[in-house]
Amino acid sequence: MQLDRSEAIIYLKELLSQCNDFSPESVSFETPINSNSIGLQVHIKGTIFESDKHWIREVAKKHSLSVQEDLDGVIIYKPKLQI
């Protein structure tokens, strides 16, 4: 099952209940191209404090999502199943 918009919003609401340092402009839902994810990806751009990264990982884990850090911030996604 892929990460759809409603599930991404549920994840984001739960994340924001733990940490609210993100501005609305820093969060976007994007459709991946040639990636290891299925469905939408949640992108959080900008400088992210370690305490916020902790909550990003914890809430993602609860929802069976993966987190990837890059130079722009973090990407939260549902990974493709490995066979």
Give yes or no for residue 1 having a pLDDT over 90. no
Q: What is the pLDDT of residues 9-66, one digit of tens each?
A: 999 999 988 887 777 789 999 998 777 888 999 999 998 989 999 999 999 999 999 9
Cβ neighbourhood burial of 61 (10 Å; 0-12, 13-18, 19+): exposed
The CATH code of the domain at 5-79 is: 3.90.1070
pTM score of the predicted model = 0.88
Q: What pLDDT, on the 0 to 100 scale, is given for residue 23? A: 77
* Cα 73 → chain centroid: 10
Q: What is the pLDDT of residues 70-81, one digit of tens each?
A: 889 999 999 987
Give yes or no for residue 82 having a pLDDT over 70. no
Please tell me the number of Cα atoms within 13 Å of 2 on its side-chain side: 11
